[in-house]
A and B are shown apart, each in its own frame.
Chain A
Amino acid sequence: MSDIVLDRVTKRYPDGALAVQEVNIEIADGEFIILVGPSGCGKSTTLNMIAGLEDITSGELRIDGTVVNDRAPKDRDIAMVFQSYALYPHLSVRENMAFPLRLAKLDTATIDRKVNEAARILDLTQHLDRRPSNLSGGQRQRVAMGRAIVRNPKAFLMDEPLSNLDAKLRVQMRTSVSRLQKQLGTTTVYVTHDQTEAMTLGDRVVVMRGGVVQQIGAPQHLYEHPANLFVAGFIGSPAMNFVPAAVADGGLATALGEIRLTDRLRRAMERADAPREVILGIRPEHFEDASLVDDRMRAEGDVFTGLVDVVESMGSDKYVYYALDEKARSAELEELAADSGSSDVPASEGQLVTRLSAVSPVREGDHHEVWFDLGKVQLFDPSTGRNLTLEA
């Protein structure tokens, strides 16, 4: 168990590609930290640098206070779980899990004891003598975990360990990974492109984009106080709605109508030297059917009447999609959408996603009035993406 510090770590591949840029992360002893971001943002590269599988171009990597930049992977005492599991196909499950212990030259009795113990924890005891090719996806995944935990390493590194499982198993395994990590208390760095996994698993989440760290923080903090447009769009599902807004006297002109500036929003605008245009962000769960809110709530928010495009009833809630007439989107938003893959970020053009109570009487094709919480509205600088509503 140990702490890991990345100090201005940069990776430039031999072909010139700058994959990771000046990354600073301090990972505490026993912490479960998640690297999350769209595909190609440098998560695996960062993880491989911690593992020692990729050279660090510049910057320092310290484990327990010792600089380990030039140490071979085997001298770092770190275990890794790969996306493909990377099980040795010619060895049985038992031999796969014993492999690191054999290399560490432990005696047979100790190896047996540790392998059996790990197999018990992971519920693999009855599969110990089978070959990986005869196991199901979930079992292979557990063998990969087993091979990592048998030797009590200083840290676990996991590169999208659940992404080859089907959705249901993924949710199950997510819980067991989390439980296992708590139980063992081993420092863990976990890579995923799935924001749900990131939110549910980590003590802290590192959001990356294009090789640059966007924000580091607890899941709830990232959700409530995203540092910029990218984090705001990436964290949360369905994603935050973004609407371009022009500053008019005393309010904001948007596709949601004229929005009045509360004190909080006014302060945000002042901090940013009163820009003429901003991007307004509001999450689907901060909307409610206007007929269901009382007067006190109504006073803290604003209402918008729009054409209901689609209603998806989830049982517990209703997802209601409104058509917005305005098609205009800022260049920043376009780029963001392209960057993170369509599903992760802003709603398709001209659409507003809201999550309303299940009791809402809304129907497709209606012109329906919806309320939103002005206290939850965030404003972003369209040119830099910076969150203006973030109190310093």
Chain B
Amino acid sequence: MAAFGGTDTRARKLRWSLLNTLVVVYALVPVLWIMSLSFKTPATLNDGNFIPREWTLENYRSILSTTEFLRALLNSIGIALIATAIAVVLGTMAAYAIARLQFPGKRLLVGVSLLIAMFPQISLVSPLFEIERTLGLFDTWPGLILPYITFSLPLAIYTLSAFFREIPWELEKAAKMDGATPGQAFLKVIAPLAAPGVFTTAILVFIFCWNDFLFALTLTSTERSRTVPVALSFFTGDSQFQDPTGSISAAAVVITVPIIVAVLFFQRRIVAGLTSGAVKG
């Protein structure tokens, strides 16, 4: 019986490992392919080899020497950081209110934010374009930061309110009884407990802003505010006859790797955050 059970679990483990490997390979191959392309010379670009025959750093050197890419990188980082910071602060306050307070219009607020999350963004592109042109926001940082905040807030509110719901109400009461003002109770008790949730949310929002292509494409026109995903699509070779694929790949690697590293590095916190087992009395 025991032996039978043993082989059974071994077979099951094998099945799962196979399935997992399949999924991981499926997800990773394109990324690895891009990395491989970024290290190839123009001549071997289309040779179909997974491992480059000739390794080169030329692609990286070339993109990092153009202001086009560096400026876009700066835009991307700045816009994503500012949008993330604002969205997380607003989201924290909204989520706290939703989790803790009874107020008229609470259901409406939750409903509307859900609506925003589900709204097809493409349908808002032309109106936003017109509005921003009229207001002079077109092709500026705020012109991208504002829609990013709008569309990431529902995500922020949802993840964060799940977190706040996990934090026992009584801790806040206890802090008040211990002599804390509401502000102190929030800062000294609630905030430290919510930190993993805030952190998780910040990463998710940052990735959302960092990866956006649609708004960045339609609401910018120059290097002033163009972000990397869009800048990539405008890449041309050094001459019009040169294939820009190598540079595009190198740029893609440059913007993808930091995210992957961050996620791997903070993986445990994010997983803990998403599954919310963080707070247990």
Interface flag for A9 (CB, 8 Å): no
Interface flag for A80 (CB, 8 Å): yes
Q: Give the distance in Å from the alpha carbon of A99 to the alpha carbon of B181 in the complex.
A: 13
Interfacial residues of chain B within 185-225, with CB under 8 A of chain A in the complex: 188-189, 192-193
Interface flag for B102 (CB, 8 Å): yes
- Given A53-B176, A80-B174, A89-B193, are A74 and B279 also a contact pair (CB < 8 Å)? no
Interfacial residues of chain B within 155-171, with CB under 8 A of chain A in the complex: 168, 170-171
Q: Which residue of A lies closest to B172 (CB)?
A: A86
Interface flag for A248 (CB, 8 Å): no
Interface flag for B173 (CB, 8 Å): yes
Q: Give the distance in Å from the alpha carbon of A53 to the alpha carbon of B192 in the complex.
A: 22
Interface flag for A100 (CB, 8 Å): yes
- Given A14-B102, A132-B281, are A86 and B179 also a contact pair (CB < 8 Å)? no
Interface flag for B268 (CB, 8 Å): no
Interface flag for A51 (CB, 8 Å): yes
Q: Give the distance in Å from the alpha carbon of A245 to the alpha carbon of B113 in the complex.
A: 65
* Least distance between A285 CB and chain B CB atoms (Å): 39
Q: Give the distance in Å from the alpha carbon of A103 to the alpha carbon of B181 in the complex.
A: 9
Residues of B within 8 A of A53 (CB): 173, 176-177
B174 near A86 with CB under 8 A, answer yes
- Given A89-B279, A90-B192, A90-B193, are A82 and B102 also a contact pair (CB < 8 Å)? no
* Least distance between B103 CB and chain A CB atoms (Å): 11
Contact of A51 among B102, B177, B192, B281 (CB under 8 A): B177
Q: Give the distance in Å from the alpha carbon of A52 to the alpha carbon of B182 in the complex.
A: 13
Q: Give the distance in Å from the alpha carbon of A376 to the alpha carbon of B192 in the complex.
A: 60
A103 near B177 with CB under 8 A, answer no
Q: Give the distance in Å from the alpha carbon of A85 to the alpha carbon of B281 in the complex.
A: 8
* Least distance between A5 CB and chain B CB atoms (Å): 20
B173 near A89 with CB under 8 A, answer no
Interface centre among B168, B174, B180 (most CB of A within 10 A): B174
Interface flag for A165 (CB, 8 Å): no
Residues of B within 8 A of A157 (CB): 177
Interfacial residues of chain A within 172-203, with CB under 8 A of chain B in the complex: none
Interface flag for B178 (CB, 8 Å): yes
Interface flag for A121 (CB, 8 Å): no
Interfacial residues of chain A within 89-131, with CB under 8 A of chain B in the complex: 89-90, 99-100, 103-104
* Least distance between B69 CB and chain A CB atoms (Å): 43
Interface flag for A252 (CB, 8 Å): no
A88 near B189 with CB under 8 A, answer yes
B192 near A74 with CB under 8 A, answer no
Interfacial residues of chain A within 69-93, with CB under 8 A of chain B in the complex: 72-74, 78-80, 82, 84-90
B179 near A100 with CB under 8 A, answer yes
* Least distance between A175 CB and chain B CB atoms (Å): 25
B177 near A78 with CB under 8 A, answer yes
* Least distance between A19 CB and chain B CB atoms (Å): 16
Residues of A within 8 A of B170 (CB): 82, 84, 86
Q: Give the distance in Å from the alpha carbon of A14 to the alpha carbon of B170 in the complex.
A: 20
B179 near A104 with CB under 8 A, answer yes
Residue contacts A-B, CB under 8 angstroms, 5 given: A79-B178, A82-B173, A85-B281, A103-B178, A133-B280
Excluding A88-B189, A103-B178, 16 further A-B contacts by CB distance (< 8 Å) are: A14-B102, A72-B176, A79-B178, A82-B174, A86-B170, A86-B171, A86-B173, A86-B281, A87-B174, A88-B171, A89-B193, A89-B279, A100-B179, A104-B179, A147-B178, A151-B179
A residues engaging B (CB < 8 A)? 14, 51-53, 72-74, 78-80, 82, 84-90, 99-100, 103-104, 132-133, 147, 151, 157
B residues engaging A (CB < 8 A)? 102, 168, 170-171, 173-181, 184, 188-189, 192-193, 279-281
What 7 A-B pairs come out closest when comparing CB atoms?
Answer: A86-B174, A100-B178, A86-B170, A103-B179, A80-B177, A74-B179, A73-B176
